[in-house]
Amino acid sequence: MDILLFVYLNGIWFLAGLLTGLTSFGGNLFAIPLLTLVMPARDAILFGCLSGTVIFLGLGFLYRREARWREIFLLGIATLPGVPLGVYFLHHAGSRLLLLAAGGSLALFLLWQFLAGRLHVAETPISRWCCLPFGFLSGIMMSAVGMGGPPLVLYAYLRHWGKESTICGANLAAAMTMPALLHSQWAAGLYSPQLLHAALFGALFGLFGIAASVPIVHNIDIRLFRRLLLLMIGLSACMLLVRGAIA
């Protein structure tokens, strides 16, 4: 691998781990659009699934004391029926459709962020059984475009979870999806040795990013940081949609 490409890829995953550790979301949302600049959209999504798995596990372990285990288990189980649908889409869709789907997923996430800031959450949390549709949608999105976090975070928001519980729950539920997802992608013949090798380093640098987030998480203005991250995600969504439209 060219040294500049090595630095670029692993720099992306370091920042993805750092951003996720600081804000509880955004790793794959940040990384996958940038990966599509140097590799096909399908490979970028696969890269995100492989390296993202380690970030999910790392953050879940870091905040394990805040875990709501019963709901996390239900969320994780609910994601599994969506995996075959998402993998089928990933395997058969062309680059143009994958780029448009990834850009559309980011746009929907930004729409939810916009609405969530203007809506009052009901005093009574939604039923825990609402985890079934939210988990199912997350399984489809994670398998198809590598971005399954927004439905999980939305569920935690509507259940009135605290920040640490949200970080832990969303990441552990996503991690529960990954064995079935990675097996399905492997069985479909989507992985190459080069991709597996690159993802191993990406996962390692993602963990470095998580470690770097720990000492600074209490010393920054998280609200400003979230706004900057959302701006970056908005630019990524525009980039993916434009690239998909002209592909």
Supply the angle between the helices 27-35 and 95-116 in degrees, to the nearest 10.
Answer: 150
Say whether pLDDT at 229 is over 80.
no
Read off the pLDDT band of 25 (50, 70, 90).
Answer: low
Q: What is the mean pLDDT of residues 218-244?
A: 71
Mean pLDDT of the chain: 83
**pLDDT, position 228:** 63
Q: What is the mean pLDDT of residues 64-82?
A: 90
170-201, pLDDT tens digit by residue?
A: 889 988 989 998 988 898 888 889 899 989 99
Share of the chain above pLDDT 70, in %: 87
Supply the angle between the helices 149-158 and 27-35 in degrees, to the nearest 10.
Answer: 160
Count other C-beta atoms under 10 Å from residue 20's C-beta: 29
Q: How far is CA 36 from CA 138, 200, 239, in A?
A: 21, 18, 10
Read off the pLDDT band of 78 (50, 70, 90).
Answer: very high
**pLDDT, position 125:** 81
Looking at the whole model, is its pTM more than 0.85? no
Q: Which residue has the higher pLDDT, 192 or 240?
A: 192
d(CA 154, CA 149): 9
Q: What is the mean pLDDT of residues 126-133?
A: 88
Q: What is the mean pLDDT of residues 29-41?
A: 86
**pLDDT, position 13:** 93
**pLDDT, position 36:** 87
Structural tokens at position 56: 């999910």
Q: What is the mean pLDDT of residues 85-105?
A: 81
